[in-house]
Amino acid sequence: MHEVLSKAKKTAVTPKNVLTVEGLKAYYINEHFGVRREVRAVDDISLTVQRNEVYGIAGESSSGKSSLIKTLAGAIRPPMRVVDGSVKFDFGGQSIDVYGAPEQLKPARWRHLSYIMQGSMNVLNPVRRVKHSFHDFAYRHMGLSGAAFWSKVRQHLERLGLDPDVLEAFPHQLSGGMRQRITIALATVCEPEFIIADEPTTALDVLVQQDVLGLIKDVQARMQASIIFVTHDMSVHAAITDRLAIMYAGRLAEEGATQALFDNPQHPYTAHLIGSLPRIGDVRVRKSLPGKPPALSDPPSGCRFHPRCPLAIERCSREVPLMQPSATGGRVACFRAGEVVAA
Ligand SMILES: Nc1ncnc2c1ncn2[C@@H]1O[C@H](COP(=O)(O)OP(=O)(O)OP(=O)(O)O)[C@@H](O)[C@H]1O
C-alpha cells in the first residue's frame, strides 16, 4: 500500500517540463590581435521539453543546431561561451542548473542525461572490443556488481534486437548501421530520462536509417524518456518527432506540434523547408531560396531571414520579431505569420 501511495505521490510531483531553456545565448568568441569576433550561433533561445516527448530541431546547415544542443548538454568548449540565459533540467525532483551550478551535471550524465553526438559511432574505441566501451561509459553509473552489470547489458542489447555477442567484436568488424545501433544501446543502457541526439542517422543508408529510427522510437517509448532529436532532414522529423522547432541563423523561427507545422506552417522559412520535400507524383520544379544563409558573425538587422524572405516588408529589416503564440497552437517569430501559404 505504502509503495502504491509513494508511487502515486512521485507521479503527482513529477514536473511536466524536464528541460527549461530561457533566453539562451552562446557565442563562439575569438580575439586576434585585440580584435574580437563573435559568432552568435545560439541567440536568445527559449524552449521547454516535456517528459515522454520527442522534440525535433530542424534547420539548414550552419543554422546553429549542433551549437544549441551542445550547449543544452553542457558540452561546450572554448571558444564557445554561454553569455546569457539558463538551461535547467528537472528529473522528477532532481534539478540541474547546467550553467548556474555546473557541478550538478557530472553525476547526472549517462544516468539521467545522455548525448549521442554527431559521428558518435566514433565513441567506440577502434582498438578495443565493444564490451570495453560499455564498461568505460556505463559501469560506474549503474551501481551494479560485475555479473549483474553484464547481465543487464546483455538483456538491454537483446531488447534492442542486438546479439549480445557483439560485445566481443571490434568496431571495424561491424557495419555502420550496427555500430550506430550499438552507440544507441550504449547511450540508453543506463535508462536515462533525457536523450540528446545529433544527426544520429544521417550517415546511414535509407533502409538502415529507418531501422535505427524505429529503434530510437522503441527505446524512447519503453523508457518514457524525452528526446531532443536534431536533423536537417524534414522527413525524419515527420516520422519521429512530436514537436518541432525550426532554427534559422542561430534563432528559433517557429515551434509547434509536428503535424500542425507540416499542415499549416506559420513562418515562410518553415513553408520553404516543407515545400522542398519531394512528394511522390509531384513533378513541379522546386524553387530554392534566393541568397545564402547569413554569416553569424555579422547577421542581418531585424529578422535574420528577411533578405531571403518572399514576404518581407520594410519592418522586417528594422525590428527583430520575437516568438509569439501562433494560430496553430505553437510559437512563431514573424510579422507576417498567418499570411504564409504552404507550398
Ligand atoms: N569552433 C567554432 N568557432 C567559430 N565558429 C564556429 C565554430 N563551430 C561552429 N561555428 C559556427 O557556428 C555556426 C553554427 O554551426 P553549427 O555547427 O551549430 O550549425 P548546424 O546547424 O549544426 O550545422 P550542420 O547541420 O552543418 O551540422 C556556423 O556559422 C559555424 O560556422
Domain at 15-241, CATH class: alpha beta
List, for the chain, all residue ranges whose pLDDT scores fall below the cut of 50.
1-15
Domains of the chain: which residue ranges?
15-241, 248-332
Can you tell me which atom of ligand 1 is nearest the CA of 296?
Answer: 29
Rounded CA gap, 205 and 275, in Å?
23
The pLDDT assigned to 141 comes to 81
**Any ligand 1 atom below 6 A from CB of 63:** yes
Nearest to 81 by CA among 120, 132, 141, 41: 41
Looking up cell 580584435, which residue turns up?
Answer: 35
Residue 41 alpha carbon to ligand 1 centre in Å: 7
If you take atom 25 of ligand 1, which residue's CA is the nearest one?
61
- H-type alpha helices, 82-205: 130-142, 146-159, 176-188
Digit-coded pLDDT (tens) for 206-264: 777 787 788 788 888 888 899 999 998 898 899 899 999 999 999 999 999 999 999 99
Is residue 192 a contact partner of residue 60, using CB atoms and an 8 Å limit? Answer: no
**Any ligand 1 atom below 6 A from CB of 246:** no
**Any ligand 1 atom below 6 A from CB of 176:** no
Is residue 241 a contact partner of residue 260, using CB atoms and an 8 Å limit? Answer: no
The grid coordinates of residue 150 equal: 553484464
Rounded CA gap, 123 and 184, in Å?
11
The pLDDT assigned to 13 comes to 47
| ipTM rounded to 2 decimals | 0.97
The pLDDT assigned to 2 comes to 40
The pLDDT assigned to 120 comes to 60
The pLDDT assigned to 275 comes to 84
The pLDDT assigned to 104 comes to 86
The pLDDT assigned to 8 comes to 39
